[in-house]
Structure 1
């Protein structure tokens, strides 16, 4: 069953997953996968809404959009929304100044150095950093990826925690030799699964979308698309 009214897909400015192209249309691997799944359901037109991370789930709960770009599945988030089947599993990474690449090699190193960690508020990397011993007063919270990168670049923080692919995607779009990406070791946090999120009122639509995803994920088209966006095998 297709929800009444337009299908609205909410996304972030976070390459290579999704970002606004010149002219306003969304692009990225998550956008292409969502488009292909919707097309398999004979839905060829849908609205795209650029938003902030903090608004993703509240927007679903209030009915402002139908589904969102994938994000990590947690028990707390499952109380608010429903998730599709997983579409990727990604390792955390730190964006640091190039001179700090060896010194800030992971969450525990940031804790030992009493360095400042910047996170996008609400993302799971904040809890990973705190669990590794980073003092709460050393955590800086911002609203967007752009603000987090600026905090490291300008010296207001020492490391930005997100997924390594997001950092690599950002630097591919906006190269900066003064910044470097450090992949967090598996013993500081195993790769976590991400999935599209849906409002709980759209359970039947999510089930149909899931079936379309199952046919797409792992197909030759999907493998080629993810490789084009820089994903190594094993992360999807």
Structure 2
């Protein structure tokens, strides 16, 4: 049974999602949402590029029905509902190559009095503050591209996100002056697609399909193609 296009909001954050050739979106999250919706009889959906700060307000206002997976937190649950988890990822830092032995964890960044850049609103900001990095040492930007530029230009010493996103960025834009470090004091956390509170019926049907897809032969091959290990989903 078909219906109108579902609007899916995504970030420019490979390997999860990123603008593709011809104006479409690509990435592991895009392939997973497309396969899930197709199994529900929804053969077309509209992918809209957004900033991180727009994702949850856009769900709440009805601008889109689903967002790219986010870390699940109690605060976010007050605004949106989540699907079943689709990955569990550890934090990491993108640093200048010469800093990779020194800035290998949040506490190491704090001890070095180094400058950390984050995408505003992402959970890594609170993790950083909880580890003792002072607010004046945390630079907030809107996009992954801005965060990488801050490290490259020397305005920040490390960019905190998930290590997978850093690897995905460098796979598309190789830069030998930058390196990825998995945070020694980071703990893998789960992420899931987000839905507006009014989208409960779609979310339940979506979850039923996810339960069959995640871990399937197709899913394992797709995630491996995008650089994920079996322990990350």
**Fold agreement, TM-score > 0.5:** yes
Structure 2, unpaired ranges of 5+: none
The equivalent of 2:228 in structure 1 is: 231
Asked if structure 1 preserves the Cα contact closer than 8 Å seen for 2:150 and 2:156, the reply is: yes
| SS of residue in 2 equivalent to 1:162 | strand
The Cα offsets for residues 159-207 of structure 1, whole Å up to 9 and x where unpaired, read as 000000000000000000000000012xx23100000000000101100
Any runs of at least 4 consecutive aligned residues in structure 1 with deviations exceeding 3 A, and if so which? none
Residue 198 (structure 1) aligned with residue 178 (structure 2):
no
TM-aligned CA deviation for residue 6 of structure 1? 3.3
The Cα offsets for residues 111-141 of structure 1, whole Å up to 9 and x where unpaired, read as 0000000000000001111111111110000
**TM-score computed with the length of structure 1 as normaliser:** 0.97
The equivalent of 2:27 in structure 1 is: 28
The Cα offsets for residues 40-66 of structure 1, whole Å up to 9 and x where unpaired, read as 101001111000000000000000000
The equivalent of 1:97 in structure 2 is: 96
Q: Tell me, in whole angstroms, the C-alpha distance in 2 between the residues paired with 1:47 and 1:17.
A: 16
The equivalent of 1:189 in structure 2 is: 186
The equivalent of 1:220 in structure 2 is: 217
TM-aligned CA deviation for residue 23 of structure 1? 1.3
Residue 49 (structure 1) aligned with residue 48 (structure 2):
yes
Q: Tell me, in whole angstroms, the C-alpha distance in 1 between the residues paired with 2:5 and 2:225.
A: 30
The equivalent of 1:143 in structure 2 is: 142
The equivalent of 2:7 in structure 1 is: 8
| SS of residue in 2 equivalent to 1:133 | coil
Asked if structure 1 preserves the Cα contact closer than 8 Å seen for 2:119 and 2:147, the reply is: yes
The equivalent of 2:113 in structure 1 is: 114
Asked if structure 1 preserves the Cα contact closer than 8 Å seen for 2:4 and 2:42, the reply is: no
Residue correspondences, number: 233
Asked if structure 1 preserves the Cα contact closer than 8 Å seen for 2:89 and 2:162, the reply is: yes
